[in-house]
Structure formats: structure tokens, C-alpha cells
A and B are shown apart, each in its own frame.
Chain A
Amino acid sequence: MEAALSVLVSVFFAVAFYLMLSKHTIRILLGVAILGNAVNLLIFTAGRILREVPPIIPIDHDTPPFEVANPLPQALILTAIVISFSFFAFLLVLAYRAYQDIGTDNTDEMRIAEPANEGLPPMGY
């Protein structure tokens, strides 16, 4: 199970990095979304797949009565999902605004903050 999942993680990483190498912000965005999922799956696999039993302790017990899934990676993933989701929402709006304001989604042409062919600083006094 872990082997299959790690192959899946590597495929996700490959797709994400390929998309992020693009010049267009929309493809980079898709890459970021896939990268977030790849990482979540990675943490899940790194925490070992033990059992499909949810780690819930019955009301009259103090410890789980039988072997359960590892809850810690799930807590980490929940945090990471929330964070990557909010980042993705922010980036989506930002990329959309950039496309509206600058008129391109090609990062090579986004040169407002760093204008091209700016020339040299003053050479003499």
C-alpha cells in the first residue's frame, strides 16, 4: 500500500513541478494546487498506513481498544489543507487581478515592478 502511494506521490510531484516551470501564472497555479495535494499524500504515507479504523476512543475507554489509524498525520494534513487552501484562494485572486491589471498572464511580460531595459545608473557626478 505504501509503495503504491509513494509512486502516486512521485507522479503528483512530477506533474506539479512540470506545471510550475511554465511561464503562465494559470499553469503555475494548477501546479501549486497539485503540489499541495502531493504533500498531503506524502505526509499521510510517511505516517504509515496502519488500519482503516478511525482513531476514536469509545466513551467508556481511556485508550483505543484495538489498533487504529495514526491520527497525527491526519491532524497535520488537516492543518496543511487549510493553509494550502487559503493560499490557493489568495493566489487565485491575485493572479486574476494581475491578469486584469497588467493584461497578461505571461510572467516574462510582467515587468512593471522591474522594468526591462532600464539603463545603467549615472556614470559620472
Chain B
Amino acid sequence: MRTIIFRTVAPNLTSLMVLFSIFVLLRGHNEPGGGFIGGLIAASAFAIYGIACGVSPVRRALWFHPMAIAGFGLLLAALSGVLSLFQGVPFLTGLWAEPHLFGVPVAVSTPMVFDIGVYLVVVGSITSIALALEERDYD
């Protein structure tokens, strides 16, 4: 699998796929997409990188351990629901804010934070499984 073509293309492919996964994540509120499918795309990007260049470069590139990323995502998702405590509405109620960044209105909401949490959980857990399996193959 570690041909020169694949090794050259894989890093670029990975960065493109991660970019695309973030696009899918962010469009997911009103259109097809979302945290789960975006997370799967990102996880497969890391899996491709791992197949092409080995597991340890992926671990170095991720910096955090995949399970720690998943833990952070879980925390983010849980806390996004708790935020509604301060507004006097039930758990997990969507709260919206529209700050203007450089004159452009940007809709920020707790469903988006929750979705980012889901994204990170999926990225973390699927990547850690994929890397563990790839490690077994090559070592």
C-alpha cells in the first residue's frame, strides 16, 4: 500500500477531507450533513493518512490522544445542554445568538456546539479504533 504515489497524495487528500468534514459539519443544521457524518469523514481521512504513512505520524499530527479528543467532545456536548439552565429552559434547548463578525451576522447556537461535540466524539473514537487496528497490521 505504501507506494510513492499514495504517500505523496495522502497528506493532501487528508487535509482536503478534514476541510470537507468541517464543511459538512457546519452545514448540517438545516441541510443534510452534521456532526456524525462529518466526524466519519474526518476519521476516514486520518485512517487514510495512517495507511499511507504509518500510525505514529498520525498520532504526532493529532497531538492529542484520540480518546482524549472523544472525551472533550463528550464534555462539549453535555455542557452545551447545560447552558440552557441559565436561560430557564429545559435541557438541550437550542439557544441562538447572532454576533456580527466584521459586519457579517454569524449565527452561533448550542445545537452547533452539540454537533461539534458529536463530531469530536466520532473523530476520536473511530480514529482510535482505526489506528489500533492499523498498528496491529504493520507492527
Q: Within 8 Å by CB, do A and B touch in the complex?
A: yes
Binding site for A on B (CB under 8 A): 30-32, 36, 129
Residues of B within 8 A of A49 (CB): none
- Please tell me if the beta carbons of A59 and B129 are within 8 angstroms of each other in the complex: no
Provide a sorted-by-A list of 7 A–B residue pairs whose CB atoms are within 8 angstroms.
Answer: A54-B32, A56-B31, A56-B32, A59-B30, A78-B36, A82-B36, A89-B129
| Distance of B37 from chain A, by nearest CB (Å) | 10
Q: Which residue of A lies closest to B31 (CB)?
A: A56
Within 8 A of B (CB), among A38-96: 54, 56, 59, 78, 82, 89
Interface of B is mostly: loop
Residues of A within 8 A of B (CB): 54, 56, 59, 78, 82, 89
CA distance A59 to B29 in the complex (A): 11
**How many angstroms between the C-alpha atoms of A89 and B30 in the bound complex?**
31
What B residues does A56 contact at CB under 8 A?
Answer: 31-32
Complex CA distance for A59 and B27, rounded to whole angstroms:
13
Q: In whole angstroms, what is the CA distance A54 to B31 when docked?
A: 11
Complex alpha-carbon distance, A89 and B130, angstroms = 11
CA–CA, A54 to B33, complex, Å? 13
- Docked CA distance A54–B32 (Å): 10
Q: How many Å lie between the Cα of A10 and that of B13 in the bound state?
A: 43
**Residues of the A chain whose Cβ atoms lie less than 8 Å from the Cβ of B32:** 54, 56
In the complex, A59 Cα to B129 Cα: how many Å? 38
Query: How far does the alpha carbon of A89 sit from the alpha carbon of B129 in the complex, in Å?
Result: 9
Residues on B with beta carbons closer than 8 Å to the beta carbon of A82 = 36
CA–CA, A82 and B32, complex, Å: 18
List residues of chain A with CB within 8 A of the CB of B36.
Answer: 78, 82
Across the interface, which residues of B come within 8 angstroms of A54, CB to CB? 32
Closest to A78 in B: B36
B42 → A minimal CB distance (Å): 16
Rounded to whole Å, the gap between the CB of A60 and the closest CB of chain B is 11
Give A57's nearest chain B residue, CB to CB. Answer: B30
Query: In the complex, what's the smallest C-beta–C-beta distance from A85 to chain B, in angstroms?
Result: 10
Alpha-carbon separation in the docked complex, A85 to B93 (Å): 29
Complex-state Cα separation, A46 to B38, whole angstroms: 29
What's the Cα separation between A125 and B107 when bound, in Å? 77
The 3 closest A-B pairs by CB, nearest first: A89-B129, A59-B30, A56-B32
B30: nearest chain-A partner, CB-CB: A59
**Chain A residues in 8 Å Cβ range of B129:** 89
Q: How far is the CA of A78 from the CA of B32 in the complex (A)?
A: 14
Docked pose: A99 CA to B129 CA in angstroms: 20
